Structure 1
Amino acid sequence: MLDNCPITAIDAHAHVFSRRLAMAGERRYTPGYDAALVDYLGQLHANGLSHGVLVQPSFLGTDNSYLLAALQQAPDRLRGVVVVERDIPRDALHAMARSGVVGVRLNLVGRALPDFAEPGWKEFFEHIVELGWHVELHREVDDLPQLVRQLLPFGMKLVIDHFGRPDARLGVGQRGFSELLELGPGGRLWLKVSGIYRLAGSPAQNLEFARQAMPLLQQSFGLQRLVWGSDWPHTQHEASIGYAAVIEQRQALDWSAQVEQALLIDTPRRLFGFHHA
């Protein structure tokens, strides 16, 4: 087991998987390579980070066994975010919590939007609140505000993936992103500063969007509800992006020491429940 190291920085979003695993029937992508835990931990070490959050990738569906096995290899250094069926038994969720799972992901990209008024959702989200977990939302920005408004009354923490997946070509004034900023001050919403290369524009447009978005996000969410993630191994962008490149993108945002301390240590430590200082 690989544990007991002080927190130097936390990567709030990464994936591990093997191409030999059974893939979900409905998937947008099939990896042609492995993203092993030992390789991920090596990337953390090489880039000055110590801890990470493993997120279940969409192409593995609800079989979280590979992620859960990874968490057991370094329980102090890793936390997990799973994808589960709504009717999963409560004891199964509690077992995952004991393994280091701290949230569930609703990956809604390319899917029909759920009807959260259905009775089954209320019971499911009650379990999430009871565990103190968060719900991570992955969807393009135009649909996020309405999803957030539907989910906030259930009472759990909500975490938005990858800046909310805006289109960088439309700028920070685009409607969905502006509405997301309006929802930020409510106190139940977090956002991952991650996946700059997923923002639909050219590399220069994407980076400029991130630069312009950061002060707006700090004003709306506050540093206490923003976290940074590498999105390793950068699925669908592996050919052009590596861990060093996302570090360079982060550095190009010219964060102050205060911002770095908040997004890389203080906020993710609290949100994901890391205990070692």
Structure 2
Amino acid sequence: MSEICPLPIRGIDAHAHVFERGLGLATVRRYAPDYDATLADYLTRLGESDLSHGVLVQPSFLGTDNSYLLAALQQAPERLRGVVVVERDIAFDELERMAGLGVAGVRLNLMGQPLPDFAEASWQVFFQHLRRLDWHVEVHRQLEDLPALVEPLLALGCKVVVDHFGRPDARLGVGQPAFARLLESGQSGRLWIKVSGIYRLGGTPMENLHFAEKALSLMLQSLGPDRLLWGSDWPHTQHEHEVNVCSELERLRRLACAAPLRQHLLCNTAAELFGFVKD
């Protein structure tokens, strides 16, 4: 990726996970891996793909025990940033400690969960903490529920990152009302969308790619390239035998033919959002 990214950044993978078998698992979970996805493995995949930097996102099956992720960040602090999953009553001092280790955001993985009421006092205090640290809120939820989550967060002044195109059903096309509402939220200037996880969009590979092509065009019109970023979603949990980092980069090249657009998706947006470059 060095042909489009300014050195020393050769490319940023803005969404990946690391874990090992034997770690404590969340009591309520949708999935548990039967293999290891170590930091060493991940860094090898980055090198093979000519990428230099990455963002580690806490996997849902590890719950709020971020110790493995935080330890990984400390092994390559110049190359990695993190997104954690925490309880909303966490102390500000603990969040500040995590910030010192390279954490830049909190993930709300709400797949299969009841929708929260962000008007509750405990949520309000939590989001105050995040704004104070200039962290973002990463939201993972099906498209139809996203407006009810994203709009209140933006009204509270939060920076919001939406996972995997907003997890739409690709078979329903880009005319879904919730997709239009999501793009309207981009007018706030505080909404980012990850161009990632195309294989998670509910259709056949061709249906998913066709949706991604049209969706990316609309997202560029509504948000602009500096609010879009790419992630491999390594190790592609539940799809491990279908895709890899290289195949996802190839999909990106098909989606973003122009080098300036790829530079935003692979470098500029994530470099600023995650603090890989300083003013």
Q: TM-score range by the shorter chain?
A: over 0.9
Q: Give the structure 1 partner of residue 245 of structure 2.
A: 243
CA contact (8 A) 1:227 1:268 kept: yes
Q: Give the structure 2 partner of residue 153 of structure 1.
A: 155
CA contact (8 A) 2:256 2:262 kept: no
Q: Give the structure 2 partner of residue 255 of structure 1.
A: 257
CA contact (8 A) 1:140 1:165 kept: yes
Q: Give the structure 2 partner of residue 105 of structure 1.
A: 107
CA contact (8 A) 1:7 1:276 kept: no
Runs of 4+ in 1 over 2 A off after TM superposition: none
Alignment gaps of 5+ in structure 1: none
2:181 to 179, 182, 186: 179
Are 2:95 and 1:71 aligned?
no
Are 2:117 and 1:115 aligned?
yes
Query: How far did 1:62 drift?
Result: 0.1
Q: Which AA in structure 2 matches 1:255?
A: C
Q: Show the 5 A alignment for 1:1-277.
A: 6-275=8-277
Give the distance between the partners of 2:235 and 2:130, measured in 1 at CA. Answer: 28
Q: Which AA in structure 1 matches 2:47?
A: H
Give the distance between the partners of 2:141 and 2:167, measured in 1 at CA. Answer: 7
Alignment deviations for residues 190-242 of structure 1 (CA, whole Å, 9 cap, x no partner): 00000000000000000010111111000111111100000000011112111
Alignment gaps of 5+ in structure 2: 1-6
Question: Partner of 2:144: helix, strand, or coil?
Answer: coil
TM-score by length of 2: 0.96
Question: Partner of 1:236: helix, strand, or coil?
Answer: coil
Question: Partner of 1:252: helix, strand, or coil?
Answer: helix
Question: Partner of 1:79: helix, strand, or coil?
Answer: strand
TM-score by length of 1: 0.96
CA contact (8 A) 1:195 1:230 kept: yes
Give the distance between the partners of 1:148 and 1:134, measured in 2 at CA. Answer: 12
Give the distance between the partners of 2:198 and 2:28, measured in 1 at CA. Answer: 26
> What's the RMSD between the two structures over aligned residues?
1.2
CA contact (8 A) 2:15 2:234 kept: yes
Query: How far did 1:56 drift?
Result: 0.1
Question: Partner of 1:105: helix, strand, or coil?
Answer: strand
Give the distance between the partners of 1:196 and 1:134, measured in 2 at CA. Answer: 23
Q: Which AA in structure 2 matches 1:155?
A: G
Aligned residues: 273
Query: How far did 1:6 drift?
Result: 1.1
Query: How far did 1:163 drift?
Result: 0.2
Question: Partner of 1:197: helix, strand, or coil?
Answer: helix
Give the distance between the partners of 1:16 and 1:226, measured in 2 at CA. Answer: 23
Q: Which AA in structure 2 matches 1:22?
A: G
